[in-house]
Structure 1
Amino acid sequence: MVYQILLLSENLDEVRRIYNICKNNQFFFYFFDKEEIFFNFLIHERIDVAIVNGNLMGDPLAFISEIRNRGIDSSFIYIGDRDPDTIRSILRVGFYDYLYHNYEEDEMEHAIVGAIDNKRMYVNIKMISSNLEKINQELSDKAKELELDKTRLKEIINRFRLIETFIREISLISELDLILSRLVEYVSREFKSNKIIATRIDAYTEYVVTSYGIDSEILKDYKWDLKDIKASPWAESILNGKVSVEVINPLDNVWYANSSISNIFPEGFIKYPIFYENEVYGTIVISCNEGDCYFPEDKIFFLKQILEHASIQIYNKNLQAKLSKTIEQLKDYQQQLIEKEKLSTLAKVAVSVNHEINNPLCAISLNAEIIKRRYKNDENLQKLIDAILNNVALINKITNKFANLKKVAFKEYLPGIEMLDLGD
């Protein structure tokens, strides 16, 4: 590397001596005898060592201050008188070395070499300092990023906790309208500055269930016929597409201007379906922000999560209701089967009774009639035979009731003992 030396002096002998030093050390050498020219050259050229003869510099303090302010990193050697106060002040303001006017040539050479080393060290320190500043700035930026990440992570954790709490709460609710009300309450925590309504869809009719930021009395009679495209132009997207609908400035929209939903959300809205598999249970509607329907991704993530869990919960509740109804139907059917089996068994018993009892009874009745006709003059015997025939008729009546029984019922015969109820 070639070093450049600059001298401010009008002493030609001094110029010659310093020139010889530079020549011997292969340094480039320049000199001027005017401070202004010296200053301009210094700020426009890369000078390693600047040597100043104090006789030509009016205010060394102002000079070095201006030079440093302009970012010049040259090393300075001052040539002056033997005055301790001047020496201290010169070295204090930033000059590298101070030589007396009657210096020896080897002193100047040593001073120049030292000044070059000082310049090189200064440049290295400056580079290191710059690198450290850069590293510190990078660390500071990284710390800020980490702090932001920490804040974001905390927000994410809080959102997941909120979602978890929401899931736990709605798991205890079975009614759709109550689930929708709880849904609006949680959505409003993330969309505090927006208007929100929840609707329920039943048999192609959409009803407003609950709201946030809007007087509920205003909305209590709001409903839309989803078969009427003029009243509800969103129906196709919500019911069949299962996708959200975004409408900005609905009053200027040819499809929405005549729909009553524009009265609720004149600034615009996004309508999200609440669905699971192929069934749509309702919607959640959020107002836009002055014609801008953009929401941060973290808010949309939260919204979609609780919508999904609400949909699953509604589906599970409906499934449980259907399952409970099916179980009750099965119980009724089982009971019917039991009754049917009992009646079938009784019918078989009735056949057996008719066969095993009525046939002997018929024989007893015939024999009794024969005896009654043969001994018709015997009054006591006639009474006995009439009693037999009456009991035969009674047994016959009981077997007929048993054969014609339509349901199985029991009545108490004795304490702790039941008997078949054949009726009166």
Structure 2
Amino acid sequence: MAPVNVAAANTPYYTPAQTPPAGTALSPNPPTLFTPIKIRDVTFQNRIWVAPMCTYSAKDGFLTDFHFQHLSAFSFRGASLTIIEATSVLPNGGITPQDSGLWSDAQIAPIRRIADFVHSQGQKLGIQLAHAGRKASTLAPWLVGRGESDLATEDVGGWPADVMGPSAIPWGKGYATPREMTAQDIKDLINGFRDAAKRAVEAGVDVIEIHAAHGYLFCSWMSPISNKRTDQYGGSFENRIRLLLETIKAVREVIPSGMPLLVRVSSTEWMENSGEPESWDVESTIRLAKLLPALGVDLLDVSSGGNHEKQVIPRHNVDYQVDIAARIRAELLEAGIKGLLIGAVGLITEAEAAKSIVENGKEGPRDQVEIENERGVKTKADIVLVARQFLREPEWVFRVAYKLGVEVKWPIQYHRGQFRKDGELVTVP
């Protein structure tokens, strides 16, 4: 009997089954970067995830064929998790009029279409639920010239009169002045996240991330620079994080117990030398991180910046965010908190760098923030999240594996196109 070209299970059309999925290590004893990790009920065959990347290409919040092609390209090429870009939970929560949205049941279908394909490849799909807060109703970045206003006015689909935030403080010149959110606005926001999470589950996503970074709503709420409220949601650290914690609880309550829940934060505003008496900094993030496991958060995605136009980011150090992730992870472990994984993101472009983040330490200043894991190696983070490098190289997972000398599974349709080594094809059993 001839071999059968087996179909992928639970897929509404024929496509060959990828068993095991692309990006799975075939070499014995691979580096940690290419070992599986299980979070709740979901297993990822490697530690390389595609971070959410805004593309400002949706129509009334609906994802299109562009998003299908864009996101499918990464999952087909070995990324164990691909996260859909910042997706607004309310109509006034997009960064631009062309942002992804999930405030309506009608917006489920195009997400489900992407999920069906990603799952047919044996991969996982995530979604980042978000509200842009005081950075809402802006233009796509390629439309804004130097010195021009970012504001999207009503004539181009914007909503400058309905931008909202913790306080009536604009992000900067050229942005809308937000209205201070009322008690009803807060209730609507939490319900928006809860309902969007339900829709995401119905759409078939495997992972949900709450966006609390880059100056968007939760980030601005947690910062004493942009939150000047005098009620129970402002003032003290505990009051400023209250809205995020209430939202996390609401989301965790409505998603399956086996579904991983992530939170992305700006670990620092980079405003320490701004003259402000207080800002959100790494110490604040560590305080927050220690509270998250009890709320059912599984991973903290560590980014930074974006809440103030006067931020000063030390970009001369390519590890500037990885170092912070390492510090947070180390302090959590030193406090005996092992229930929160850490994701590192930012300027991760090279194979050895990605490998070192989740496994091997480097000599130098970073040693003081490294903690040995159960395998006796020093680890800065548990997952690497990569964005722009995937835009340059959608096959980055395969390139990393090749450079590290790790044989990995390729899509079976592409088995003849694998990278060459010493003039010969790199073969897969």
TM-score range, shorter chain: under 0.3
What TM-score, normalized to structure 1?
0.19
What TM-score, normalized to structure 2?
0.19
Work out which of the two has the higher radius of gyration on C-alpha atoms and give 1 or 2: 1
Normalized per residue, which structure has more helix? 1
